[in-house]
Structures are given as C-alpha cells and as structure tokens.
Amino acid sequence: MAQTKLVWQSKLVLLVVMPFVAAQIVLEAHWWAAQMTPVAIWTVGLSVVLGLVTWKLRAATPGASVTGAAITASLMFSTAMFPYQPWRTALPAVVAVSLLAYFATLLGRGHKEQLGTAEDRHGRNAAQVAANLGVAALVSSEFVQSWFVDSGLTRSALAPLPVLALGLAALAEAAADTVSSEIGQVFGGRPRMITTLRVVEPGRDGGVSVIGTLAGALAAGVVAGAGTLAFSGDWTMFWVSSTGGVFGLLFDSLLGATLEERGWLNNDAVNFLSTASAAAFALVVLALEAHLGVGQG
C-alpha cells in the first residue's frame, strides 16, 4: 500500500531523467549527423537494437525498452571518443549491467516466486530503468564534463575525462544492487537488517547477506572493468568506479532499512538516490585526489 501511495516518486524520477535525456539525444544526434554521420547512425542504431533485445527477452516492458534505449543513446553520445568506435563508449558498461541483471533475475526464479519477491514476468517498467540508469546519463552529460574542466578536477590522474568515472560508478551500483538482491534471496540464507543486524525475511528492505553483498561487489567490479577497458582508463578509474558502486550498494540498503521501511521512499526513489550516491562518492574521491595531487608527476 505504501509503495502505491508513493507512485508519484516513480513519476518524478521519470520527469527528472527523460526530458533531459530526450533533449540530449536530439542535440547530439543533430550535431553528430552534421559533423560525422556514422556516429549518429551507430549510436541510435545500437541503442534501438539493445532496447528491442531487452523487450524480446521480456527483461523490460515496451516503455522500459524505449527508456533504456534512450538512456543508452545519451550515454553513448556523451562518451564518444576519437577515433570513434562504438565499443569505446559507455555501451559495454550498459550491456554488462543489462546482462548481469537479466541472468541474476532468472537465477532461482522458482524459489523467489515462492518467497513472493520475484520480478514481474513482463520485466522492468520505465521508472525502474530510469531509476537505475538515469543518474549515469545525467552525470555523464557535456554540462557536467564542462563543469569538471572549469573546476580544475581534470588535473586528476584520470585527465582528461575524469567525469566518466562518475557515470561508471552509477552504472556499477545499478548492477551491484540488482545482483546483490537477486543472488542474496537464493543463496544468502536469512539476511540481517543492515542497521540492527537482526535476522529478517529474504527480500526485506534493508536486509543484507554476506553472499549477496559479495556478489554485488563482484558485479560492480565487472561493470567498472568493462567501462574502464572501453574508455581506455587505468587502475584509478577502475577502483574509483567500482568502490563507488559498492558504496552505493550499502547506501541503498541503509535507505531501505530506514526511509523505505518507514514508507517515506519507494524503491525507484531509493535506486535513483543510491546510484547518485555512487557518483557522489566517486566525485569526492576525485576531488580529494586532485587536491592532494595523487598520481601527478
């Protein structure tokens, strides 16, 4: 009942993410079509293909597939590098998130249906996709990249594009959260509330297990690794984004045990804020690293 009353939060997430993403796609597609047409064609085409595949696999509803395709296109445009190659954009990281979520959701589905915690057979809806991937698109935009240049954070060891670590951390958290929850319900036994450590039922908001947490951390590492390789990053980019993903995973559980448990936030709001916390963690680390001059000759 509480989740139903808080449906406005899911709509708010869509309202925050999708107008920005739509404007980003229109502007970027127009610019790239004029400057280098193949970039626009590959970006839009591959994003549409990914959306269709998720829909055919019933991993997402039609609306969610469109939402995911739009966010993927936005991320690909924002992370395009020269010489352009589609696999040197955010695409590998997004695909990694999608595959990890898909297979983790399928694993032990019968058991999760008995628990009443299995995902809808029609897949995720548009708000769920925006809540998980939207922050990555927002923080990877050219506006944020420009802010990094103006702020001086590009003196980081990740120069010239440290901002990519923020979006990558958000994507890593999205994968970590899903994998941790899905794996924990099947193999984690009786989870414990993160705030009190008392035993709770599987699927309870704020409940964590050792197995689930380790699986989530591994998923964060996989996504961070995929993105680091795609961006030709280094060890710094990998550990900043992967640890940001793990931080967001723990923050997600904390929000679940407090604000969501009390009926103040719904799951979409928690997921959106958790991916934002992962990006914020990466930002703080990069700021400290730039301030202390780590990695500079």
For residue 297, tell me if it sits in a domain: no
Q: What percentage of the chain has pLDDT greater than the value 70?
A: 88
Full-model pTM: 0.92
By CB neighbour count within 10 A (0-12 exposed, 13-18 middle, 19+ buried), where does 65 fall? buried
pLDDT value of position 297: 39
CA distances from residue 113 to 118, 206, 216 in whole angstroms, order as listed: 5, 20, 21
Residue 154: pLDDT band (50, 70, 90) is low
Task: Judge if the upstream peptide bond of residue 92 is cis by omega within 30 degrees of 0.
Answer: no
- Domain enclosing residue 93, as ranges: 2-292
By CB neighbour count within 10 A (0-12 exposed, 13-18 middle, 19+ buried), where does 178 fall? buried
User: What sign has the CA pseudo-torsion 192, 195, 198, 200?
Assistant: negative
For residue 28, tell me if it sits in a domain: yes
- Number of domains making up the chain: 1
**Any idea which residue has 């992370």 for tokens?**
79
Residue 110: pLDDT band (50, 70, 90) is confident
Residue 91: pLDDT band (50, 70, 90) is very high
Whether the pLDDT of residue 162 is over 70: the answer is no
Whether the pLDDT of residue 244 is over 90: the answer is yes
d(CA 280, CA 297): 26
For residue 141, tell me if it sits in a domain: yes
For residue 104, tell me if it sits in a domain: yes
Identify the weakest region by mean pLDDT among 18-27, 55-64, 287-296: 287-296
**Any idea which residue has 């924002």 for tokens?**
78
For residue 182, tell me if it sits in a domain: yes
For residue 35, tell me if it sits in a domain: yes
For residue 257, tell me if it sits in a domain: yes
d(CA 245, CA 141): 19
pLDDT value of position 119: 66
For residue 170, tell me if it sits in a domain: yes
The model's pLDDT over 49-61, given as tens digits with 9 standing for 90+, comes to: 999 999 999 999 9
